[in-house]
Every structure is written in structure tokens, then in C-alpha cells.
Structure 1
């Protein structure tokens, strides 16, 4: 019934396709380039995001309002008149110029209803839930550090009118928002490379969530959540498990947690989660590394951690002091790995983590080796998936790996799986990226493991090396595929024979294919 009414209200308005969305975003950014208050894309992108956030929020609130009316229920909006998008943004000939800038920026201003009151941002920052945390708290958090940098209210009105062409009132249109994220992330890649933040491709996120398999009533954390890819995928994974109203209550309030210190990804994360159905995402807007990890107790721990922490960056001295003296480092990836280990619940049940790390983490010595020693002795590092070059293109060409570990006991052996590039390809690119379907062999192997040309296992004794006095010499997890020509001695004779026979069979197949092609 609600869908039918919505269709009627829409009339003949065309859907906002991915192509049209890209065109709208480009036009809005072209307008912003004319404004002297914005000096570059890292100024323009946050502007575009907060404008879109308010448009998106109003569209979704219209849907909820209609559905509540059909159920005979009272609807409580997150934003009251005259601060809703429909009150000041929807009319192309509405408030503009200096009046628009004053309404948005000032603590007190003339409102669109002709009365004086708090300005838009002042009002949004003052919101709070009436009974516990709700969408109003999320809006207040999003706008706490958000500012309008545009000087011209006329240009800002033009941007608002462009964004007003995007409609978030159908599932078809909501599904294309990912294209907006992608266009923004492409513009951020240079800055991302400088700070070591590489946004995780959706197929990698889906794989990590699928094999980690979060269950309803478990708590899921991403302490470096960026735009929320892992949290959204986990939310959808858990939502499929909900069978009753009580399950949805658990999912909404007790399941999904994140942390993101940078304002733009933080806002995108909130918008992403709200868009997918979370009422009030619980995202910490500060540095997840700011706590002394020696003081983290059971109440701070979670059941599942899924993350791609920043790497290659450096943390300040105050952050390093939150870690044990012999494991202090400025390398963010190693600090986050320690945080993840400390925040994983300690009970005997195999609480688990999946983490993206660069190759440097695998072979690093010194502090890195001591951290890996703790990981192997106190956790079960059961699987390392080695990803080929280009998976994270265009953000980085650094080879990356996926670590999977849990609390089921110390590591005795580690399974490695080398994900191959598609046949005939030298790497992935931004125009030919990784597809989730390529993980089908890995997913099949995950449930029924045996060594083959892509999978091998290594006893922990070959990783942890000690001198005669028992001091740690190295903890090298950078073990190459023995079937790739290195370390063949690790294969037992029968497996070596099987590998050679498999290669011979493949050579015969290729020769047959060539003969058939030459007919």
C-alpha cells in the first residue's frame, strides 16, 4: 500500500540512475568551483556530502511518515519544521543569497517561516534523543564539526537545486548511491595515499564478512570504519537472520559499532548506515587508538572485529604511549593490530577477527615481530589470504593480505591461500577491478580445506624463530606459495607428486585447446 502511494506521489518523475547521479554530482561540483570560499576537492566534497545528507534524510523521513500514517502511528521526525529540507531546500526559488548563508551559518537568523530563531547548523547541533539514543543524536554528531565554507549564497542555492534532483524515495534510487561514494573516493585517493587510508573494495568486504559469519546477538566492531563498508555489510548479514521484532531491536541497538576520526568519512559512514536502515549508528568520532590498551577490560570487548586499518601513516607520541613499552611504534597498522587483539572478547568461544594488512606487517622485525609473537601465542591465526597486486587500485599498489584469527587457542599451524589473478591478467585496475564471483573457489575451499596449488599450511615453528637463549629472532609470516617454485621442500613427497601431475594435466589441456583453435 505504501509503495503504491509512493509511486502515485512520484508521478512520472524518472528514476535517478547511476549515470544521472554522476551527471548531477559533476554539475554541483562545477558550480562549487566558482565559489571563492572553497579551495579544492577536500573543501568541496564535505560541502556536497552535508547537503546530500539533509536531502537524503528528508526523503527517508517522508517515507517513514507515510508508513506511520498508514499504520495509524504517530511519527516523530528527526528534524522539525522549518529546518527540514522541504522547508528551505526543495523550492528552486526559495531562500538564497546572503539570507541563505545567514540561515545556515549564524547562531540566530531569520528562518524560512519568517520568524527569528536558531540558524540551521546551530539547530542541528542542538538535537538530542528524548528517550535514549536515536536519529536526532546522529544528526547532531554529524554536524558537530561540519561547517559551510561557501561564501556565495546564490551559488549555494544552485548547488542545492542540483542536489534536489536526486531522489532517495525508492530502493532503485537508493541502490545507486554507491556510485556517488565511488566518485568521491576517487577524488580522495591522493590524500588517502598520503595518510595510508585505502578504502576496501566491496568484494573483499563481502568475503571477510561471509567467512567470519557474524551471528545475531554478537557485537561487531570496525575501529577504523571509514565510510562504513564493513559495518553496512555486517548489518545486512545480520538483518537476514532477524525473524521477529525483538531480533530487529537487538540488531539496531546492540550489534554494530565503529570508530572514525576524520569528519568526511565519518559523515559518509553515518549516511551509509542510515540509508541501509540503521536508526542510530553508534560510531565513535574520535581516534580509536586514544585509549590505554592496558586498561581495556571485558566490558570494552566485542565478539567480532572486521577492519582495514590505515597503514603507512604515523601516530603522535601521545598515542604511542598507550601501548606497552616493548611494542610502541608510530606505524598505525601495528598499533591497530594490538588494539584489535586487546578488544576481542576473551571467553573460550572463538570470538574472531578479520583484518587487512600490508606485506610489511607480515615480514617486519623488531616491534612488528614481538606483536606477531603475541598474536601467534595468544590467538589462533588460522588463515592468511594473500591478495594479488591491484586489488586496492587506484588507492595503492601495495600487496595486501587478509588475516583471520580467533580466541580458540594458540596457533599451531597457519593455512595460506593465494588468490589468483584472472587468467591472462597481470593485475587489477580501476577499470577492471576484482569481482566477488572470483572468490568462489576460496569460499568452497574454506569449508573443506586441503592443500593444492593455491593453498598450503605452515607449522608455527617455521614462523617463530628463537636463539639458543630463547630470545625471539624473527616472526616472518611472509611465506611464499611452495607450488610457485619456492620452498618446495615444505611439501611432503606425495603432495609434490600430485602437484607435478596436476601441472602436467593442465599442460595437456592447454595443448588440446591450442589444437582445437587451429582447426
Structure 2
């Protein structure tokens, strides 16, 4: 994590301070502007790398910066060609050498419009970038930001070479740090999910190429990126990749799938879907995935709980960390959601169930209150998970996992859809539920979240989940165990681990008080026979003698 790279963290802090002093004090506005610059820089670097690879292998590659570009507003004019701009001048490596005033004008009027338009007028990216604005107001701020971003990329590249960490993962650290600076982080329960928790969840659901995957509250696209990287890694391993090394959390991951065939890349792009109700986060998510090699991400602006969202039984996998708190306008709740509540943490889980195909699997983070809440909607949701789904696992997380955003206690629910909402079923789908109490995630559970030795419980969870056996995992004094459906039904569908875990009390035998007192006296006066003489010199000994006489 970025916290363990003080040099990189210092540069990010410098970047924030430059934007603050330069007049952009809203953190969300600042991160959007910084992301545009990061995107320009990464776009140039990726293009140059692909060109160099093509030159080396003899393959054909058409640079994004070859030829000329005509701004959309001039394209229908007869003399449109006279407005053509050489794409080469729109590269980061070209405009960064300009004088301050010229650079600001060039980026505002040419580079940024090209960025918004580069995927074509029909592109999802172009559609969501339509209202995006480049608002860096001062030439000096742009120059300083460009210089600092160059320095950040130099550090990232050096760390990638020296430490063997994938460049994209370090880039993910930069995003994580940027997101953590948003003052509104945690507003309406929107907490950024740590990357190692996303990787854990991907290992639990094991997405495969061709699976339709969705996050109905995707934010900056972390879960979609996690699923993508898991699939890419599995493909690389099947193709004989042997140079993969475990990261600091024990996960094997490779980065951008440079070796994927065009067809495989197309399948991946078309099967990853995300939705969010914040247009800024949609843009950030689109650029995040594009910088990781997904050229045309399927992220859209939608409220997935509203009446306007009609998708149902569409996806093989749902991975999500939906908003925890707050409520939705009762009049706008999709009529297919039947829980009779306005609590978003409950509605999202029901909606995720509806989004799954029969046989599809969801891995969702929820506040622990969902596991034991006594309200009718809480109980109905848990009953639905037990009866209409195969609720495979409940993994409780320590409360510090989401610090510094919040200390909320959370859990991971892992379930497979067996019965559709209105379908009659002969018997409940869940036979037993596997519980695991995560105590450590490999990081300190305070606001600093420093890396600790080892992987915490991460790798243990993966190994034990995939090897779980309801017939043998019955010892409820252990960290993980299986609970039969009948026991859960008897407890009014309560899914809190503490309801089923049995505490172990160790019986301790203590010596008789007189024996303890004799040992204390011996420690004070040694082996002397004249205890009375010793007592004269020691008030402690005198009091010990009196106490021994009292107890006999």
C-alpha cells in the first residue's frame, strides 16, 4: 500500500498542496483534475510502449497520436481541414515542454477536447466526458502539476523495476491515496474498498473469462478491476506464465493483459459492467479501467435501486461494496424490490440477488447490522438468502478494515442464486453456512493502516473456504466452522457469528492462599528462622504474618 512508500506519498501530498494553494480546494474537483492529467500522461506512455513493442516484434500498431484530429464543432464545415490539429502535438511528452501560458491554452483548448473525443462520438467514454471540464485556472499550477506527475511516474517505474511490483498496482496505490484524500469519503456510506479485500473476494468467487460481471455501485471501478486482473492472471497461468510472484498480501496477480488475443480482450471488455449515481465517479471509473488496459469500459450513470433500472437475472457474478447508510426516496424505489424498506444496505442486497442469473454468485460487503437486525426487512432479507439462495459463507471483518474512512464493522456475504424471486421451491436452497471470523487483514487496524508481517487471515480464508466440509467443520470453538440451516432457522435467521461461536474457558487451578503467603514470606525474609526479628524490620512481613495467622 502507498502508506509504505513515503517518497511516493510525499509527492502525492505535494500535488494536493499545489492544487489547494492554486485555488482548487474541493477535494473531489481536485482529484478529477489530477486524474485527467494522470490519464494524459499514462495514455502517452502506453502508446509509446505499444509502438516500441510493435517495432520489436514486427507487428502493426496504429498510434493514437498519428495523423490529425479535427475538433467536433468544425467537422461539418466545408473548410474543416484547416482546423486540423496534428495529434503528435497532443502528447504529454510534447506539451510539457511548452511555456506556461502556451501549455495552459494548449491543454485547455486542444489536448483536453481531444481526450474527451478520442474514442469516437458513439463511445461510452465520450458520452460521459461530454460535460467534463478542465478547470485548472493558472499556468503556474499546470506546470507544477505536470512536473510533479512526471516525478510520481519516475518513482512508480523505479519501484516497479526494483521491487517487482506491477506498475499498474503501484498506479492503483496512487489512486487509493488520491481517493483517501476526498473529504467527502464516507458520505452516504460510500467507503473505498482496500485492494487486498477486493483481491480476497475475487479469489472467493473465481470469475472466469466469459462471465458477465457487474458492480451496481462501482465508484472508481475497484471491483471490476479486481475481477479483470484475476481473470487475466488465470489466463496467463494457463498459458504457462511462470514468473508470477506473490504480492505483499500473498496474491498472485499480473497486470495489463498485453498478451491477450484481440478476441479475448473484447470478451473481457464486454462482460465487465458497472453503474454509479455520481457522474464524477463514473468518469473516474472509466479512466481507471482504461489506464489498466480496458479500452472501452462498460461503466454507466444509473441509480440501480430506482424504477428506471430494469435489469434482472443478467449476471454470473456480482462483486460490490454498496452504500451502507442512508435511505432512498420511497417513491423512486424499484417496484420489483419487495422488502418494504428504504434502507439502502438492505435494498442493494435484494437488488444484487435479482441481478444474478440462476446459478450466479455474489460476493458483497455489508454492515454487520444486516446479519442480526431485528426489523422485519432485515429478517426477510436473511430468510431470502437462506431459502432462495445457497448462502455459502459469512466472513466477519475487523472494524478497522475501512479506516481511515470509518470504523464500521462489516462482513462479506457469499451466496449463489438458486430460486428466482417468484418461483416456488420445494425446499430451501442453503444446507449449511460457513462462518469465518477474520481477526487480522495484514495491516494495522488504526488510521495509519501500516503493513504488518505476514498476510493476516487473507490466505487462510481462501484455503479454508475452498476446502470447507460441512460434515467435518463442526467445531464451533475454532475460527471457522459450518452451521446447518436448521440451527440458523431456529435462531430466527440470525447470521451473526457470535450467535453460533462457542467460547472456550480454560480452567486454571490456583495454590491455596496459605501456600502463596508462605512463598511471599520466604521471598521477603529468606530462610531465617527468626521471623519475628525480620518482622521488626519489615512492615510488609509483619502484615503477611498477620494475614497468614488469620487464614490459619
TM-score where L is the length of structure 1 = 0.74
1:8-23 equivalence runs, <5 A: 18-23=5-10
Distance 2:323 2:501 in 1: 32
Check the 8 A contact 1:18/1:179 in 2, yes or no: no
**In structure 1, C-alpha distance between the alignment counterparts of 2:413 and 2:218, rounded to whole Å:** 17
Secondary structure of the 2:185 match is helix
The answer to whether residue 232 in structure 2 is matched with residue 239 in structure 1 is: yes
User: Residues 259 and 283 of structure 1 are in contact (CA less than 8 Å); yes or no, is this contact kept in structure 2?
Assistant: yes
| 2:480 aligned partner | 455
- What residue is the counterpart of 1:310 in the other structure? 323
Match for 2:290 among 256, 274, 284? 274
Partner of 2:20: 33
CA distance in 2, matches of 1:284, 1:270: 9
> Deviation of residue 332 (structure 1)?
1.9
2:246 corresponds in structure 1 to none
Contact 1:252–1:280 (8 Å) recurs in 2: no
Q: CA deviation at 1:216?
A: 1.9
Consecutive unaligned residues in structure 1, runs of 5 or more: 1-16, 110-118, 467-473, 486-498, 506-519
Cα displacement (A) at 1:284:
1.6
3-state DSSP class of the match of 1:257? strand
The answer on 1:152 being equivalent to 2:138 is yes
User: Please, what is the CA RMSD of the aligned residues?
Assistant: 3.4
Q: Secondary structure at the match of 1:327?
A: coil
1:121 and 1:426 map into 2 onto residues whose CA distance is 41
Whether contact under 8 Å (1:124, 1:139) holds in the other structure is: no
Q: Any idea what SS the aligned residue of 2:151 has?
A: coil
Measure, in 2, the Cα distance between the counterparts of 1:19 and 1:427. Answer: 19
**TM value normalised by structure 2:** 0.70
Taking the aligned partners of 2:59 and 2:464, their CA distance within structure 1 comes to 51
Q: Answer yes or no: is 1:415 the counterpart of 2:434.
A: yes
Q: Is the 8 A contact 2:312 2:356 kept in 1?
A: no
In the alignment, is residue 94 of structure 1 matched against residue 98 of structure 2?
yes
| 1:352 matched residue in structure 2 | 361
In 2, Cα distance between equivalents of 1:362 and 1:84: 56
Matched, 1:49 2:35: yes
Equivalent position SS for 2:393: strand
Contact 2:432/2:485 (<8 A) preserved: yes
CA-CA distance at 1:291 after TM superposition: 4.6
Matched, 1:387 2:397: yes
Work out the CA distance in 2 between the residues paired with 1:305 and 1:422.
22
Partner of 2:410: 400
Distance 1:458 1:292, change over 3 A: farther
Q: Is 2:305–2:348's contact at 8 Å kept on the other side of the alignment?
A: yes
Write the deviation string for residues 110-153 of structure 1: whole angstroms up to 9, x where unpaired.
Answer: xxxxxxxxx444443334449xx8xxx36525633422233223
Post-superposition offset of 1:400: 0.5
SS of 1:383's equivalent? strand
Structure 1 match to 2:339: 327
Residue from 351, 358, 372 that aligns with 1:339: 351
Q: Partner of 1:404: helix, strand, or coil?
A: strand
Is residue 341–residue 347 contact of structure 2 (8 Å, CA) maintained in 1?
yes
Could you list the runs of 5+ residues in structure 2 that have no partner in the other structure?
70-84, 162-166, 240-259, 420-428, 509-552
1:246 Cα offset (Å): 6.7
Aligned match for 1:432, one of 422, 440, 450: 450
Partner of 1:371: 381
Given that residues 352 and 406 in structure 1 are in contact (C-alpha distance below 8 angstroms), is that contact kept between their aligned partners in structure 2?
yes
Q: Decide whether the 8 Å contact of 1:220 with 1:303 is kept in 2.
A: yes
- Which deviations, in whole Å up to 9, do the C-alpha atoms of 1:243-278 show, x marking residues without a partner? 573762454333322223324433443333233322
Cα offset, 1:53, TM superposition? 1.2
Instruction: Please list the CA deviations of residues 475-495 of structure 1 after superposition, one character each: whole Å capped at 9, or x if unmatched.
Output: 43224154443xxxxxxxxxx
Secondary structure at the residue paired with 1:205?
Answer: helix
TM-superposed deviation, 1:356 = 0.4
Residues 49 and 267, structure 1, Cα contact 8 Å, conserved in 2: no
The one of 199, 207, 211 equivalent to 2:204 is 211
Check conservation: 2:362, 2:415, Cα contact below 8 A.
Answer: yes
Q: Larger C-alpha radius of gyration, 1 or 2?
A: 2
User: Aligned partners of 2:303 and 2:187: how far apart in 1?
Assistant: 18
1:254 to 228, 250, 270: 270
Q: Distance in 1 between matches of 2:92 and 2:432?
A: 62
**Residue equivalent to 1:441:** 460
Is 1:176 equivalent to 2:170 in the alignment? Answer: yes
Alignment of 1:162 with 2:148, yes or no, is yes
- Give the distance between the partners of 2:294 and 2:507, measured in 1 at CA: 53
Does the CA-based 8 Å contact 1:90-1:161 persist in structure 2? no
Q: Following TM superposition, by how much is the alpha carbon of 1:427 offset from its aligned partner in structure 2, in angstroms?
A: 4.6
